[in-house]
Amino acid sequence: MTSPGHRGAIEGLSALEARLADELAFLQLPAPRWTPALEHEGVPVLDVAIVGAGMTGLAAAAALVQRGLHVVSYDEAPAGLEGPWATTARMETLRSPKQLAGPALGIPSLTFRAWFEAQFGRTAWDALDKIPRLQWMDYLRWYRQALALPVCNGHRVTDIVPRADALVELTIAAAGRSTRTFARRVVIATGRAGLGGPSVPAFAERLPRTRWAHSSDDNDYSELHGLRVGVVGGGASAMDSAATALEVGAAHVHLLVRRRDLPRINKGKGAGNPGFVQGYARLPDAWKWRIRHYINVQQVPPPRNSTQRVARFANAHFHLGVAIEDAVERGGALQVRTSAGPLALDFLIFATGFKVDWRQRPMLRHIAPCIRVWKDRYAPPAGDEDEELAESPDLGRAFEFQPRSGAHCPGLERVHCLTYPATLSLGVITGDIPAISEGALQLADTLAGLLYAEDIAYHYARMEAYDEPEILGDEWVAEPLPPVS
Ligand SMILES: Cc1cc2nc3c(=O)[nH]c(=O)nc-3n(C[C@H](O)[C@H](O)[C@H](O)COP(=O)(O)OP(=O)(O)OC[C@H]3O[C@@H](n4cnc5c(N)ncnc54)[C@H](O)[C@@H]3O)c2cc1C
């Protein structure tokens, strides 16, 4: 039986969906399809294939559909379980402030706030502090359904091969079968670890896998009950992992933080303004490097509520200025060497972030050797070296991969990157809630323009063939000039 509150929420959402339909109609969105319907090997060619249907893939799909393009987004995850929110993330609430417009693409009824108020009302909105993690996933599910976005779940892209004939060939595994799809452009929207995977110290690879996890693994934390757990790192994921371990009854959780103090100020947040969002990509390389390196060095503080979630446990231990140097399994435990002395643990969690590592992304194996990264072209000033930045792809203004010197990969420029590692080249429009709409819209506008330009002969011929009269010739009667008097 549905409760009155639940019924009200359903009615609220229906009303919101009607308003959304109006807003889209007022803006004449989506545009009708205008690109030629191409076929290759008897199957339709997509204008754009998107790899990933997390928040970024959805926003990109929505923006491209609005521009009248034929798009499909593929995600290996089951429907509704894309991205970290309902899978590997362990925070109670989002870090991002509730009022951000997120992937709404400038349409008021597509915002989280509109979705929330439609169901729970303005008073509840005013009372809401931060967005609960799973509620954000519910919103993304609604976003996709309300826009009827073309997403294929359970479809893993296993290979991407650009070709000389202006097509990109994708191999896609689904339901135990492997098929090929062709697209004119491909957008990689595979998330924070999208061009690699977890970054863990080399000694972790020598430990039995039963003894450690990365914070992004979906391991069962209930197995940590009664154990001595070490969490390496001091960022948001470290706090979330530590808190989850404590909540399931870990005997002790030791946070091993290399820095002498936790970062307190989120410099990236302080840099955010429309100029930073729109203008960053135009900056000279030296400024891009300087900004991103500064933000990297300063680091992002863990959210206050996440830190308090850990600190309320008496068996949580914050060890600052303690670097982990090595660990071995001996005598049924982990013997950990730190810069402050030895520590005996049962399990280690590395909350050490992600890195670009092409080997961890087999779908990119064909193009990875050709892709230019920043270290191929740019040398930072002495003292400003930064491995994360050095390995970032050096993208063009169309979000496209560019070939490194001597590489032969025709069509590489048809593969576009909308993931976190694109941030050094293009700024904060390449992922995360604050500027994802700007990124999706810029990408959609750019791809629409590129597709138009490369089909110019087709569009010109269509213009010539266009024959819909606006006046019929019966509106007037032609007269000779009056005689000169
Ligand atoms: C724990 C955690 C907390 C976060 N909190 C915030 C926050 O509060 N605010 C914020 O702005 N950002 C936050 N982020 C960053 C967050 O990841 C992004 O904002 C958001 O998830 C980006 O969406 P995305 O679509 O780019 O990536 P994701 O959400 O990661 O989606 C990528 C998708 O690509 C799919 N995929 C990958 N490879 C393939 C393949 N080969 N074939 C098919 N599909 C594939 C995956 O299944 C996945 O669904 C957080 C990240 C983490 C890990």
Tell whether the model's pLDDT for residue 359 goes beyond 70: yes
What does the alpha-carbon distance between residue 252 and residue 131 come to, in Å, rounded to a whole number? 29
Looking at ligand 1, which atom is closest to the CA of residue 192?
17
Distance 421 CA to ligand 1 centre (A): 12
Contact partners, residue 443, CB within 8 Å, separation at least 6 = 60, 63, 64, 187, 399, 416, 418
Where does the pLDDT of residue 332 fall: very low under 50, low under 70, confident under 90, or very high at 90 and above?
Answer: very high
Q: Give the dihedral sign, CA 72/75/76/78.
A: negative
Residue 93 DSSP label: B
Is residue 1 over pLDDT 60? no
| Cβ 64 vs Cβ 202: under 8 Å | no
Q: What is the mean pLDDT of residues 373-388?
A: 97
Determine the straight-line distance between the first and last CA of the chain, rounded to whole angstroms.
Answer: 91
Probe ligand 1: pick from 73, 75, 179, 266, max atoms within 8 Å of CB?
A: 75
Please state the length of the chain.
485
Q: Among candidates 226, 215, 231, 228, which has minimal Cα distance to 249?
A: 226
CB 77 within 8 A of CB 85: no
Q: What pLDDT score was predicted for residue 298?
A: 95
Supply the angle between the helices 55-66 and 133-146 in degrees, to the nearest 10.
20
Separation CA 51–CA 194 (nearest Å): 10
Roughly what angle, to the nearest 10 degrees, separates helices 304-311 and 236-247?
30
Do residues 50 and 76 touch, judged by C-beta distance below 8 A?
no
Arithmetic mean of pLDDT, 21-38 = 98
What's the average model confidence in pLDDT over 386-406? 97
At 100-125, the pLDDT tens digits run 999 999 999 999 999 999 999 999 99
Nearest atom of ligand 1 to the alpha carbon of 420? 26
Could you report the per-residue pLDDT of 271-315, keeping only the tens digit for each? 999 999 999 999 999 999 999 999 999 999 999 999 999 999 999
The pair of structure tokens assigned to 273 is 């303004």
Distance between CA atoms of residues 140 and 146, nearest Å: 10
Question: What is the pLDDT, as a whole number, of residue 2?
Answer: 65
Ligand 1 centroid from CA 139, angstroms: 15
pLDDT on residue 8: 85
* Angle in degrees, 0-180, between the axes of helices 456-465 and 436-454, rounded to the nearest 10: 70
d(CA 373, CA 353): 19
Please give the number of the atom of ligand 1 that sits closest to the Cα of 189.
Answer: 26
| 166-194 pLDDT, tens digit each | 999 999 999 999 999 999 999 999 999 99
pLDDT at 7: 81
Partners of 173 in the β-ladder: 156, 178
Residue from 58, 73, 74, 82 to probe ligand 1 pocket by mutation (most atoms less than 8 Å from CB): 82
Asked if omega into 469 is within 30° of 0 (cis), the reply is no
Q: Which residues of 340-372 are buried (b: 16+ CB within 10 A; e: fewer)?
A: eeebebbbbbbbbbbbbebeebebbebbbebbb
pLDDT over threshold 80, residue 4: no
Residue 325 identity: E
* pTM listed for this prediction: 0.96
Looking at the predicted structure, is the pLDDT value of residue 56 above 90? Answer: yes
Q: Ligand 1 mean position to 57 CA, how many Å?
A: 9
Average pLDDT over residues 336-341: 98
DSSP letter string over 376-436? GT--PPTT---HHHHTSB---TTSB--BPTT---TTGGGEEE-SGGGHHHH-GGGSSGGGH
Which pLDDT score is estimated for 3? Answer: 75
333-338, strands of its sheet edge to edge: 324-330, 333-338, 341-345
Q: What are phi and psi of 186, to 5 degrees?
A: -125, 135
- pLDDT at residue 477, rounded to an integer: 96
What confidence tens digit (pLDDT) does each residue in 231-270 have? 999 999 999 999 999 999 999 999 999 999 999 999 999 9
Give the residue, out of 192, 437, 438, with the most ligand 1 atoms within 8 A of its beta carbon, to mutate for a pocket test: 192
* Arithmetic mean of pLDDT over the chain: 97
Q: Which residues line ligand 1 (CB under 6 A)?
A: 51-57, 74-77, 82-84, 89, 91, 94-96, 156-157, 189-192, 216, 237, 363, 431-433
Give 468-471 contacts, CB < 8 A, sequence gap 24+. none
